[in-house]
């Protein structure tokens, strides 16, 4: 059954998860970084979506249970003021001997969506615990969020991100080392969306984006030339009461057996209206779930209601 794997005990607003293995840990440690929305905050508007920290949870049993490890400190710059500032949608990847975090950062905790610059900020860490600020990533926009990073078959390191100043669509940048980035161009246009995630599975490269009605799916042979596939992922409800809504802003971990795990969040009490009008805590609260992905007949398929006890999630050795 598609029961939640994690809820944030502090604010009840865990969202935008990214999951990564900490190298060298025995038994295996899987770390989840997520946007800690303040669902329990009183008041109207979207201040509860802003002012968020980056929460951390760790699993040592393959994702069956997760222990809260607090929030990531030191994500504001020396001249950013006292805050609270907004930390959104971290992307965490390992490049060489370092972990890299690409964070969406907004000044303050605005009560409205529009008019507030968003920037992607870069951090590095040797161990996932202590992070050092590198600085703002120049992707050619002052309204860029939701970074996803992967190395494509041509050897280039690519970043896919949402540019809210340009159609709220997915754009890309390229880098040689993860530090200096050059804007490439539009990757996926059309219907506005957010939260791109890129991975290789079943002989194809896949790009999924959150269309607020499920995840749009694109496929490529090279991680560059993307083509839309029919249907949506995480659009049909799961069996559990907390998984009856669409799956939002997802992250994918590919497994050695040729399948993958997709981590996503839902608003269990959401009624389908604009979140700016979600004045009650029950509408704002979130839950993080996981589903299985596999490639069947060259298409990406989900299993949202698998039996976790028999199939497991992630390696433990």
* pLDDT band, very low/low/confident/very high, at 255 (cuts 50, 70, 90): very high
The 8-class DSSP code of residue 256 comes to T
193 CB-near residues (< 8 Å, 6+ apart): 162, 168, 169, 170, 209, 210, 211, 212, 216
Is the whole model's pTM more than 0.85, yes or no? Answer: yes
What is the C-alpha separation between 240 and 121, in angstroms, rounded? 36
Q: What is the pLDDT of residues 108-129, one digit of tens each?
A: 999 999 889 999 999 999 999 9
Mean pLDDT rounded to a whole number for the chain: 94
Report the percentage of the chain scoring pLDDT > 90. 84
b/e burial code for range 286-315 (CB count within 10 A of at least 16 → b): bbbbbbbbbbeeeebebebbbebeeebbbe
Q: What is the pLDDT of residues 75-86, one digit of tens each?
A: 999 999 999 999
pLDDT(173) > 60: yes
Q: What is the pLDDT of residues 58-71, one digit of tens each?
A: 999 999 999 999 99
| Cβ neighbours around 219 below 10 Å, total | 18
**Chain centroid to CA 272: how far?**
21
- Pairs from 277-280 (Cβ < 8 Å, separation ≥ 24): 277/44, 279/43, 279/44
Return the pLDDT at 102: 98
189 CB-near residues (< 8 Å, 6+ apart): 167, 169
With 0-12 / 13-18 / 19 or more C-beta atoms within 10 angstroms meaning exposed / middle / buried, residue 222 is exposed
Least confident among 81-90, 271-280, 300-309: 271-280
What is the C-alpha separation between 107 and 161, in angstroms, rounded? 19
* pLDDT band, very low/low/confident/very high, at 307 (cuts 50, 70, 90): low
Q: What is the pLDDT of residues 211-242, one digit of tens each?
A: 999 999 999 999 999 999 999 999 998 999 89
pLDDT(264) > 90: yes
Q: Among 172, 113, 123, which Cα is nearest to 146's?
A: 172
Strand ranges in 137-286 using DSSP code E only, listed in sequence order: 144-151, 157-163, 169-175, 181-188, 194-201, 204-210, 215-220, 227-233, 248-254, 260-266
Residue ranges of domains in the chain, CATH in brackets: 14-310 (2.115.10.20)
pLDDT(38) > 60: yes
């Amino acid at each position: 059954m598609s029961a939640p794997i994690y809820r944030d005990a502090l604010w009840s607003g865990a969202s935008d998860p990214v999951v990564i293995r900490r190298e060298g840990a025995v038994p295996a440690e899987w770390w989840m970084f997520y946007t800690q929305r303040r669902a329990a905050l009183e008041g109207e508007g979207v201040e509860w979506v802003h002012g968020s920290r980056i929460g951390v949870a760790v699993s040592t049993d393959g994702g069956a249970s997760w222990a809260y490890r607090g929030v990531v400190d030191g994500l504001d710059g020396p001249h950013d003021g006292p805050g609270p500032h907004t930390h959104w949608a971290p992307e965490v990847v390992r490049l060489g001997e370092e972990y890299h975090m690409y964070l969406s950062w907004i000044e303050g905790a605005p009560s409205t969506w529009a008019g507030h610059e968003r920037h992607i900020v870069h951090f590095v860490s040797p161990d996932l615990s202590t992070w050092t600020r590198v600085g703002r990533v120049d992707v050619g926009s002052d309204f860029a969020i939701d970074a996803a990073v992967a190395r494509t078959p041509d050897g280039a390191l690519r970043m896919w991100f949402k540019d809210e100043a340009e159609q709220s669509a997915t754009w890309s940048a390229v880098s040689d080392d993860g530090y200096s980035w050059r804007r490439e161009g539009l990757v996926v246009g059309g219907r506005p969306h957010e939260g791109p995630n890129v991975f290789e599975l079943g002989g194809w490269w896949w790009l999924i984006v959150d269309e607020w009605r499920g995840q749009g799916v694109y496929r490529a042979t090279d991680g560059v030339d993307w083509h839309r596939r029919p249907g949506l992922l995480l659009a049909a409800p799961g069996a559990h009461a907390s998984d009856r809504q669409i799956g939002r802003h997802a992250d994918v971990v590919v497994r050695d057996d040729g399948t993958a795990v997709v981590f996503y969040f839902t608003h269990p009490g959401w009624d389908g209206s604009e979140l700016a009008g979600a004045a009650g805590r029950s509408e704002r609260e979130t839950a993080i779930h996981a589903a299985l992905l596999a490639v069947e007949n060259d298409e990406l398929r989900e299993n949202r209601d698998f039996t976790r006890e028999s199939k497991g999630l992630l390696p433990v050795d």
